[in-house]
Amino acid sequence: MASSADQQPPSRRAWGSLSQARIVAVALEIARTEGMEALTIRRLAADLGASRMALYRHVADKEALVDLVMNAIAEHDVVPPGIDEGPWPHRLRLLATAMRRQLAAYPGVVDVLMTRANHGPGALHLVETILAILADAGLDERQAARHYLIFIDLVLGRLHRELHGDPIAAHRTASLVALADKAGGHPRLRAAEPHLRAVSSEEIFEAELDMLIEAVKAAKS
């Protein structure tokens, strides 16, 4: 039988002890371990041991909470240390790899980014970092703007496909080969089959970055 102590409701925080920094830290932990779908004002209040009304003094609503979390990820996780050092191709690749890895660590974040913009200071720092790398590559403002958009599309698009239905996934290759077996013929597909199966998402990502880097080099020449 549960003791009276076990039946007590969770203790509430002392008045004035809640801060936006603490709210964001706990929200990030929920997003990292359970995904953005689990991040609600009710859940956050429970984890903080605070009332929802106490949270609303720091965060206006769920949309504002998501904005805070997205900004914190961009500000603290995405841009790696040493991003200002070394040749620009190395820096661009380093940033792309960090973005893909860190955004994947928060389930549901890339889905949010595909449907809404992140306009916080962390996002602005990320954009400025990308544009600075492209400027160091020798691109003018028009070229840098174009290749910035290509970079964002490449990184977010590849990650979104990896999480929600990658056209290079092994099961898609298997179904294609099975169809060829049933239809007969198609010698080139049969010869390519083992090589198609061997290609990983990581290799595709690196190859796409190679192509982007070559496109940047061509644009400045």
Spatial distance between the Cα atoms of 87 and 48, rounded to a whole number of angstroms: 44
Question: How long, in residues, is the chain?
Answer: 221
Q: Is 102 exposed, middle or buried (0-12, 13-18, 19+ CB in 10 A)?
A: middle
Residue 179 lies in a domain: yes
Tokens of 219: 């644009």
Core vs surface per residue 139-177: b (16+ CB within 10 A) or e: beeebbeebbeebbebbbebbbbbeeeeeeeeeebeeeb
Same domain, 111 and 166: yes
Mean pLDDT of the chain: 88
Mean of the pLDDT values across residues 158-174? 86
Same domain, 89 and 38: no
Instruction: Quickly state the pLDDT bin for 16 (edges 50, 70, 90).
Output: low
pLDDT at 97: 96
pLDDT at 165: 85
| Ranges 78-87, 177-186, 207-216: which has the least confidence | 177-186
Same domain, 51 and 86: no
Residues 113-134 pLDDT 10s: 888 877 789 899 999 999 999 9
Same domain, 33 and 80: no
pLDDT of residue 6 exceeding 80: no
| Ranges 32-36, 100-104, 173-177: which has the least confidence | 173-177
pLDDT at 172: 82
Q: Which CATH number belongs to the domain containing residue 51 in this structure?
A: 1.10.10.60
Same domain, 117 and 213: yes
Residue 2 lies in a domain: no
Q: Which of 10, 31, 59 is the last residue of a domain?
A: 59
pLDDT of residue 169 exceeding 90: no
Same domain, 75 and 54: no
Same domain, 41 and 129: no
Spell out the SS3 assignment of 47-62: HHCCCHHHHHCCCCCH
Same domain, 27 and 75: no
Same domain, 53 and 76: no
| Ranges 1-5, 86-90, 115-119: which has the least confidence | 1-5
pLDDT at 7: 44
Spatial distance between the Cα atoms of 160 and 166, rounded to a whole number of angstroms: 8
Rg of the chain in Å (alpha carbons): 23
Identify the domain containing residue 105 by its residue range. Answer: 71-220
C-alpha dist (Å) from residue 70 to 80, 106, 142 = 16, 10, 28
Q: Which CATH number belongs to the domain containing residue 131 in this structure?
A: 1.10.357.10
Query: Rounded to the nearest 10 degrees, how much is the dihedral formed by the CA atoms of 154, 158, 160, 161?
Result: 140
